[in-house]
Structure 1
């Protein structure tokens, strides 16, 4: 049965909550920081729900080292959602009749919409973009989302401003004798990415790299640990599927005399930027070492198909399987062929434009049909507005070509909402687990069915460490954005007296793990000996992606709204305070804030194991 998912309209942060701060960094240099205290969009990257910032930088006008007049230069304008407060701030600094040069670090429909509005207000606007970025700007400039029936005729668009195309690393003069080094940093997600480095201040304006979605007024982070979880989340959501291309960008900037990194989102990194570069390399090591890979091929007109790709990639990455992302609009045929031949599974995504798939997707599909291995699973995904012909084309051609589908095609109308994104992420995780399971079965057959780790005396001894059997339950948000999850937990231990705290280990590929970040609440339901079979049967069974783990259950709630199993021996509501990465698990330390004993005479169910190689 084919599934068609319609993204529900979900309210983002209202425009009235957004504001722009003007922060003077140096004489002639300001940061225009847009702040949104609530998540401004519903992509997976905003999942921690801590708001965000959009950091733009303005070098004011003046004279170059040679005495020539230099107009003001704006680095990395925000998206259209910040237009009203951003234009108000910029108008105080740059009159509408003055020339203005804009360095476009990321190109997407939302950014181009703002650039069109800027061109109408500042007619002498000029753009600076990478080669790929300039191509995207030209393609998107005259495109508009289809207007609803009966809508008034839109106003005519301003002409496309002149574009200074940066084909390779280059320098441009700024006022006051400063020099701006422009560094193309293409990735599949942001093919037009362009970093900017001002040499005398040592300021690297890194665009999307090193970002974190946090809303705060201060320009720089207080210390490295204060933003580590948020930067790791951003990396896992968007950078991990491009780990090899990210490593290439890191190599390019490693030798720069950097003093401060100022990303597009979140606070700047002033004191520990080398530590952050090292973390980026370390976080990518697991991806690069993986022997299994999933090829993720896509094109995205309005960003919705890319959002689906992000969710699929994050789900696959949770299992430790490497994701190889390719933007078909900017990939060479040889690169496409190599990825298709080497991948253990293949996912291809497309929007529908004018009733058709984009030409690069049609070409990629032809390569898949010619080069793809029919024994390896495939998947189709994408978004559409009023029709989905592109997805029908991909599905029919692949089925007729004899390919085996890993999951039913993912068809999202307009934009995916948080619940849909969670389902898509779990679909990616299921695919990663399927590939890992097939690899393990193959290895067991090759080894004659022996499992050395289970016969290792140290592993057998580790299995004698016991823990109480519990069910961890968690919900986040409410209404249409409500997400829930649960898992059986036996790696649980009390960790502190003051405050009362516990630790629980959560596998990275657990669906509930995304609901257990610092500040999130959960309930731990301790099971009673002799009554553990019912809850164990409920929560150990396999769930299909997006399935409600609590369907059919009569639950109670903690004071904080977390689910409680009435048949439990005891329950605790806890708040996550720290997370530590431990191989294939996250170890959570949580402070217990509420709790109760439901059966004062019962005893705790304990999980006995014979090997530390499995649960």
Structure 2
């Protein structure tokens, strides 16, 4: 099964499993595969399955003949506990020698897996970076509230902490069989305990979070650079874009290594095209680098839920072209925190509630924000909670009492967000980013004394004479419990091919529906009638709040692939996205048309006439 021929239909026929992929003698990749959406976070939203790469060195000794027995690099999360341990036991019995676990990053899902492994394999040593060790200990000792109990009921027992070996800087470990491992600390705001591993003999860079893609792929490596480019770009936009400066600093370190192949924590290996992927990572972050608007996003996260909320909001803000500076308050010095607050045009602060309180780093960050923040700039509060949400109430009250205005209502989510909430969070981020942009535009108009330079540009005016059909693009995906839909008015539409029949549609990057228009996704194009289009335009041009249903009070039917069809349309087309091209502030979508029908044979297509090419 390869990325090129995976579809939502045949994904349903696949099973969750862990497979072995031999790299060299005594060096194995253990790939855990899931055809379904593995977790709720925004980076899984393409719903093309996922795979997680772990690496095992068997029966190894270092240059001093000290036995390391087994080294497991980047173990999976608890999601793959059953499948991974069943496969792992075929290689190593539970009464075997010491096992060293190299943790590429630390989160509650990973720590929960180590706890399960610690029951079966008693002689474990965790190898991680210095910040990773701190975070590992904190998560290990956390007692997570049950969703089925109340605070007065008994909580889970805390297990004995395994041995921890700390990597403080670049270190090399020589093994038998000519293997030699470099441990490379790679901290980012999102993963302060980041640790990348490079094996010199094979030239294999085990990059963990960097260069990932969530796809179901059994083959060791991708077919070519284009086969997973869209999935890697989506992964970058969801997770890496707000940290692009830190990510580029890590990438620069790779020039010192003789890399042959890169294998990320998620997705197939990258062989011949890894240099172009490094270049892509640097170019994809350019819009963030040069943005003249920035948001300081301060957060701490105990169980990973608040971090997932932060990722979704940051993803939405980034889509508007506004720079997001993610700041993990637990690992950020106070002077740097103050610097980022002073630079920001907007502030977001997120917190879990632990024992009825906000974590100490968040309380300190709140104090810095109250002391250094500009009351004329918008703020926002978000976070998750288990039994109660006192931390979020505290943040909201202190900011309100301090004179801050909110860009959105405080977001308080019990436990973890579901896919529908992730979509709402992303739309909230888009809305917040647009607020900053519109505020900036108003300031510029005042400075220009009302002169609109674009309307006086003859080239832009000539561009406005290009006309297009007025249409409503509709799309939806997911199952009954997590059905996500969206819609937008589209007039930049054109037929693009005869065979196969195809069209192109330009979609602004900040459109909420854009996330439903990736390769393989289906949608419907409802073409409007000249004499009967005003009511539909009024419906879909209104200002929607994040999470609002675009189809409220409308009668709709469904296309063969369950896409919404509007009864008042002149005609409809159903298409499948085949290609996407980045065009400045828009994505150009090429879709192959699968079905269609003219509803009103005597009707005339509504056409959108403009006087300027500076706006729609």
TM range, normalised to the smaller chain? over 0.9
Any idea what SS the aligned residue of 2:302 has? coil
Counterpart for residue 25 of structure 2: 27
Aligned residue runs from structure 1 range 133-212, under 5 A: 133-147=132-146, 148-149=148-149, 156-212=157-213
Counterpart for residue 595 of structure 1: 596
Counterpart for residue 130 of structure 2: 131
Counterpart for residue 439 of structure 2: 438
Q: Deviations over 1:181-219 (max 9, x none)?
A: 001111111111100001111100001110000011111
User: Of 82, 85, 104, which aligns to 1:84?
Assistant: 82
Does residue 407 (structure 1) correspond to residue 405 (structure 2)? The answer is: no
Does residue 96 (structure 1) correspond to residue 77 (structure 2)? The answer is: no
Aligned residue runs from structure 1 range 287-302, under 5 A: 287-302=288-303
Quote the offset at 1:342 in angstroms. Answer: 0.6
Quote the offset at 1:154 in angstroms. Answer: 7.5
Assess if the C-alpha contact under 8 Å between 1:105 and 1:192 holds in 2: yes
Counterpart for residue 35 of structure 2: 37
Quote the offset at 1:155 in angstroms. Answer: 7.5
Assess if the C-alpha contact under 8 Å between 1:65 and 1:176 holds in 2: no
Quote the offset at 1:422 in angstroms. Answer: 0.8
Q: Measure the CA separation in 2 of the matches of 1:158 and 1:128.
A: 18
Using a 3 Å threshold, how does the CA distance of structure 1 residues 154 and 32 change in structure 2: closer, same or farther? farther
Q: Measure the CA separation in 1 of the matches of 2:72 and 2:466.
A: 59
Counterpart for residue 586 of structure 2: 585
Assess if the C-alpha contact under 8 Å between 2:312 and 2:426 holds in 1: yes
Quote the offset at 1:152 in angstroms. Answer: 10
Quote the offset at 1:177 in angstroms. Answer: 3.3
Counterpart for residue 112 of structure 1: 111
Q: Deviations over 1:241-284 (max 9, x none)?
A: 11111111111223321110000111010110000000000000
Any idea what SS the aligned residue of 1:576 has? strand
Q: Measure the CA separation in 2 of the matches of 1:284 and 1:430.
A: 21
Assess if the C-alpha contact under 8 Å between 2:196 and 2:208 holds in 1: yes
Quote the offset at 1:62 in angstroms. Answer: 3.1
Q: Measure the CA separation in 1 of the matches of 2:256 and 2:530.
A: 60
Q: Deviations over 1:447-502 (max 9, x none)?
A: 22222222222211111111111111111113221111111111000000111100
Counterpart for residue 481 of structure 2: 480
Q: Measure the CA separation in 2 of the matches of 1:115 and 1:271.
A: 34
Does residue 495 (structure 1) correspond to residue 493 (structure 2)? The answer is: no
Counterpart for residue 268 of structure 2: 267
Counterpart for residue 4 of structure 1: none
Q: Measure the CA separation in 2 of the matches of 1:221 and 1:438.
A: 44
User: RMSD value over aligned CA atoms?
Assistant: 1.6
Quote the offset at 1:96 in angstroms. Answer: 2.2
Quote the offset at 1:421 in angstroms. Answer: 1.1
Counterpart for residue 378 of structure 1: 379
Any idea what SS the aligned residue of 1:439 has? helix
Counterpart for residue 339 of structure 2: 338
Assess if the C-alpha contact under 8 Å between 1:355 and 1:390 holds in 2: yes
* Worse overlay, 578-587 or 137-146: 137-146
Counterpart for residue 310 of structure 1: 311
Assess if the C-alpha contact under 8 Å between 1:556 and 1:565 holds in 2: yes
Assess if the C-alpha contact under 8 Å between 1:59 and 1:175 holds in 2: no
Does residue 353 (structure 1) correspond to residue 354 (structure 2)? The answer is: yes
Q: Measure the CA separation in 2 of the matches of 1:96 and 1:175.
A: 23
Counterpart for residue 5 of structure 1: none
Quote the offset at 1:157 in angstroms. Answer: 4.6
* Worse overlay, 125-134 or 245-254: 245-254
Unaligned residue ranges in structure 2 (runs of 5+): 1-10
Quote the offset at 1:576 in angstroms. Answer: 0.6
Using a 3 Å threshold, how does the CA distance of structure 1 residues 264 and 402 change in structure 2: closer, same or farther? same
Assess if the C-alpha contact under 8 Å between 1:60 and 1:175 holds in 2: no
Any idea what SS the aligned residue of 1:479 has? coil
Counterpart for residue 5 of structure 2: none
Q: Measure the CA separation in 1 of the matches of 2:115 and 2:133.
A: 14
Quote the offset at 1:293 in angstroms. Answer: 0.5
Assess if the C-alpha contact under 8 Å between 2:68 and 2:98 holds in 1: no
Quote the offset at 1:305 in angstroms. Answer: 0.4
Quote the offset at 1:153 in angstroms. Answer: 6.8
Q: Deviations over 1:37-95 (max 9, x none)?
A: 11111111100001101100001113334544332111000001111121122222223
Counterpart for residue 511 of structure 1: 512
Unaligned residue ranges in structure 1 (runs of 5+): 1-12
Q: Measure the CA separation in 2 of the matches of 1:177 and 1:24.
A: 16
Using a 3 Å threshold, how does the CA distance of structure 1 residues 156 and 439 change in structure 2: closer, same or farther? closer
Counterpart for residue 524 of structure 1: 525
Using a 3 Å threshold, how does the CA distance of structure 1 residues 152 and 380 change in structure 2: closer, same or farther? closer
Q: Deviations over 1:387-427 (max 9, x none)?
A: 00000000000001011111110000111111111111111
Counterpart for residue 612 of structure 1: 613
Counterpart for residue 470 of structure 2: 469
Assess if the C-alpha contact under 8 Å between 1:474 and 1:485 holds in 2: yes
Quote the offset at 1:298 in angstroms. Answer: 0.3
Any idea what SS the aligned residue of 1:580 has? strand
Q: Measure the CA separation in 2 of the matches of 1:525 and 1:573.
A: 9
* Worse overlay, 469-478 or 47-56: 469-478
Quote the offset at 1:137 in angstroms. Answer: 1.0
Counterpart for residue 48 of structure 2: 50
Counterpart for residue 64 of structure 1: 62
Counterpart for residue 328 of structure 1: 329
Any idea what SS the aligned residue of 2:226 has? helix
Q: Measure the CA separation in 1 of the matches of 2:424 and 2:60.
A: 53
Assess if the C-alpha contact under 8 Å between 1:454 and 1:460 holds in 2: yes
Q: Measure the CA separation in 2 of the matches of 1:154 and 1:343.
A: 41
Q: Measure the CA separation in 1 of the matches of 2:364 and 2:526.
A: 53
Any idea what SS the aligned residue of 1:405 has? coil
Assess if the C-alpha contact under 8 Å between 2:73 and 2:103 holds in 1: yes
Counterpart for residue 9 of structure 1: none
Any idea what SS the aligned residue of 1:23 has? strand
Q: Measure the CA separation in 1 of the matches of 2:536 and 2:573.
A: 17
Assess if the C-alpha contact under 8 Å between 2:139 and 2:303 holds in 1: no
Provide the aligned length of Structure 1 versus Structure 2.
602
Assess if the C-alpha contact under 8 Å between 1:100 and 1:126 holds in 2: yes
* Worse overlay, 17-26 or 500-509: 17-26
Q: Deviations over 1:512-538 (max 9, x none)?
A: 111111111111111111212111111
Q: Deviations over 1:564-587 (max 9, x none)?
A: 111111110111110000000000
